[in-house]
Amino acid sequence: MLSKLFLDIAPLTVSLFFIMGAFVVFQIIFSGIRKILQSKNINIDEYALRSVLGIIYILVLLFIMQSSIRNANESWIYINFQIVSVIFYTVILSVHFQYHIFGPIILAFMLFNSAIYSWQSWCLAIILIIFYYSLNYIKTHTKEKFPFFHYMLLSIILGSAYWYFTALKFSISNDILIKEIIYLIIMELFTFGYIAILYTDIESRTALFKEATHDKLTETYNYDAFDIDFRSLFKNTAVTNVKSTMMMFDIDHFKNINDTYGHLTGDKVLRSVVKIVQNIIQNTDPNIKLYRTGGEEFNIIFPNYSVQSTQEIVEQIFQAVNHSRIPIDGHLINVTISVGVSEINESDVSVNDFYSRVDRALYHSKRNGRKEITVI
């Protein structure tokens, strides 16, 4: 337990630990709610969930803090947390600028503090709105992944202005004003530094994840990613009884392309085929995934699709690739594919039962002259 003596002696240290704890607690709450919703098979927009939850979390935190010092002599002691809360809401949650949300919140906060008739309070509200808008502007109009120095400069300028009007409203001495501005700058350094580390960590983990789950040549998902998603799909289908389908296709006579034009040309053909297929998938349903599971073999998983509902997109992919003439080094290379399609059914005891059936469908297409779609 932190004693009052420690709070009085080291308010900055306590503030920094409080900020970090607030960030961690929010992430725990968000992750917990997301897992609960996912376990109940409830489709959610994580961005919207994070935004709504963030608004509620910040408001509850601020009102609890403000209630504890309402009508007290030093009712300004949580000013720095108000500024950091705006940073948290704007930079960490990445919520778009919305007057209809932010304005009423500030108005309610002023009514709560009986400050509606204070001109200094209106100046403080305007500064917060400008701060919020400016953070969003920096975030969307700079090429840097995390514009640390832009954020810091803006926060120091507007934070100091915020404290200036606070000092006018509460008749705060210059010594306390300077000390609180210094505290604010340190807290902002800590906050933006913490966020910068998170960004770096996320980028590193994203890069590692992509390297582990994506094929280096075609940049589509690799066999490891396919194996994980395929088993997960089979398990979810068994639990929810929702139809799911898989398409497997193979580039016809690919060895002849390599032998005739060389492996570099073969690589270009693979990338071209992937581009054709990915464009169709993205324009149809981004939840559909393409995987390179062998040299010239690919799989497409259709979650929540029956065979009948995949017929149009399978045919579209089939026709698009088979009618393509890929220009490479002065040559126009005609590419065709053989396709096998099937959906998970009740007789499939394991993932191997389903996979083998799709594989048999593909083999049937290849054995019967290729350039064919077989559905089992």
Tens digit of each residue's pLDDT (9 = 90 or more) over 189-232: 988 888 888 777 766 666 666 777 888 899 899 988 898 888 88
pTM of the complete model beyond 0.85: no
Average pLDDT for residues 99-121, to the nearest whole number? 72
DSSP for 123-183?
HHHHHHHHHHHHHHHHHHH-SSSS-HHHHHHHHHHHHHHHHHHHHHHHT--HHHHHHHHHH
**How many beta carbons lie within 10 A of that of residue 321, not counting itself?**
22
In the chain, count H helices and then E strands: 13, 7
pLDDT at 11: 65
Q: What's the token pair of residue 27?
A: 């992430």
Residue 219 Ramachandran class (φ > 0 left, ψ -120 to 50 alpha, else beta): left
Residue 93 to residue 17: CA distance in whole angstroms: 20
pLDDT digit string, tens, across residues 21-65:
887 888 888 888 888 887 776 766 676 777 778 878 877 887 787
The separation between the first and the last C-alpha atoms of the chain, rounded to the nearest angstrom, is 66
- Supply 95's token pair: 């919520």
Average pLDDT for the chain: 83
Q: Which amino acid is at 19?
A: I
Q: Which two tokens stand for residue 326?
A: 């890929």
For 83, the 3-state DSSP assignment is: helix
Tokens of 20: 């970090």
98 vs 140: which has the higher pLDDT: 140
User: What tokens appear for 178 in the block?
Assistant: 């300077």
Q: Output the six-digit token pair for 288.
A: 């559909």
Alpha-carbon gap, residue 251 to 333, rounded angstroms: 12
What pLDDT does 9 receive? 46
Backbone phi, then psi, for 30, in 5-degree steps?
-60, -45
CA dihedral 254, 257, 258, 264 (to 10 degrees): -110
**DSSP conformation class of 221:** B
Task: Tell me which of 309 and 108 has the higher pLDDT.
Answer: 309
Percent of the chain with pLDDT over 90: 32
- In the block, which residue shows the tokens 């220009």? 327
- Nearest-angstrom CA–CA distance, 347 and 331: 47
Query: Looking at 188, 296, 343, 372, which residue is catalytic?
Result: 296
Q: pLDDT digit string (tens) for 314-361?
A: 999 999 999 888 887 777 888 999 999 999 988 888 888 899 999 999
What is the structure's pLDDT at 8?
A: 47
Q: Say what the pLDDT of residue 100 is.
A: 59
The rounded Cα 232 to chain-centroid distance in angstroms is: 21
Q: Could you confirm whether 296 is annotated as catalytic? A: yes
